[in-house]
Chains A and B, each alone.
Chain A
Amino acid sequence: GAVVSQHPSRVICKSGTSVKIECRSLDFQATTMFWYRQFPKKSLMLMATSNEGSKATYEQGVEKDKFLINHASLTLSTLTVTSAHPEDSSFYICSAIELSDSPLHFGNGTRLTVT
């Protein structure tokens, strides 16, 4: 089955630093990748949608300058949290889709803690 690898699974960083999270589709080409943020005991909040080679589309209320998304190839998308603050601490999950009628395939998430 389709596998999405997300790395790192857990990261702790200091306030003001930047953190990069990688999302790779291992055995398929992802036409679209999505980045979600999940708060404790809450549903997934879509942050942005990215298509290979084009700028990401951000959801309302998500700061594009703070959450930089790069989708350089059909198998790799990165989310960089710039100048991280404690309120950015959360569980970030990426997902990828191969064809228009196929399901989302999720990475295992990244637990970000900003101290």
Chain B
Amino acid sequence: AQSVTQLGSHVSVSEGALVLLRCNYSSSVPPYLFWYVQYPNQGLQLLLKYTSAATLVKGINGFEAEFKKSETSFHLTKPSAHMSDAAEYFCAVSEGTGNQFYFGTGTSLTVIP
């Protein structure tokens, strides 16, 4: 069985500060990992994905995530937060079969001016 844990349902950072959103997963097979962002009253937009290639994945809007198998983690980072980064972020894992995606409970990011 697969699952995703996002530590911290709310994260606040100052504008310009480092953003770190945590995601740990459990999977019995090599996982496919994803980060999505959701703005109010909208669907989810893919930020980045890991599908067994390079462990450091770069995504849109300056975000990146590193797959660490030993820690079963896929934390999302951005060096310098921007006001427009304020949103809900979801980590997801799948087996790559297209049949099931498991989402974390989400982390709400607030950026303080």
Q: Tell whether, in the assembled complex, residue B43 and residue A108 are in contact, meaning their CB atoms are under 8 Å apart.
A: yes
Q: Tell whether, in the assembled complex, residue B90 and residue A99 are in contact, meaning their CB atoms are under 8 Å apart.
A: no
Q: Tell whether, in the assembled complex, residue B43 and residue A109 are in contact, meaning their CB atoms are under 8 Å apart.
A: yes
Other-chain residue from B51, B92, B98 in contact with A32 (beta carbon distance below 8 A): B98
Closest residue of A by beta carbon distance from B4:
A43
What residues on B are CB-neighbors of A37 within 8 Å?
A: none
Most chain B beta-carbon contacts within 10 A, residue among A34, A104, A111:
A104
Q: Tell whether, in the assembled complex, residue B100 and residue A106 are in contact, meaning their CB atoms are under 8 Å apart.
A: no
Interface string of B78-113 (1 = CB under 8 A from A): 000000000000101000111111011110100000
What residues on B are CB-neighbors of A34 within 8 Å?
A: 101
Given A43-B90, A43-B106: A105 and B46 interface contact (C-beta under 8 Å)? yes
Closest residue of A by beta carbon distance from B49:
A103
Q: Tell whether, in the assembled complex, residue B99 and residue A49 are in contact, meaning their CB atoms are under 8 Å apart.
A: yes
Give residues 1-57 of A contacting B (CB, 8 Å).
4, 6, 31-32, 34, 41-44, 46, 49
What residues on A are CB-neighbors of B63 within 8 Å?
A: none
Given A42-B105, A43-B103, A106-B36: A100 and B46 interface contact (C-beta under 8 Å)? no
Show the binding face of A for B, using Cβ within 8 Å: 4, 6, 31-32, 34, 41-44, 46, 49, 91, 93, 95, 97, 99-109, 111
- A selection of 18 A-B contacts at a CB cut-off of 8 Å is A4-B43, A31-B98, A42-B105, A43-B105, A43-B106, A44-B44, A44-B90, A44-B103, A91-B41, A95-B43, A101-B51, A102-B98, A103-B34, A104-B36, A104-B44, A106-B43, A109-B41, A109-B43
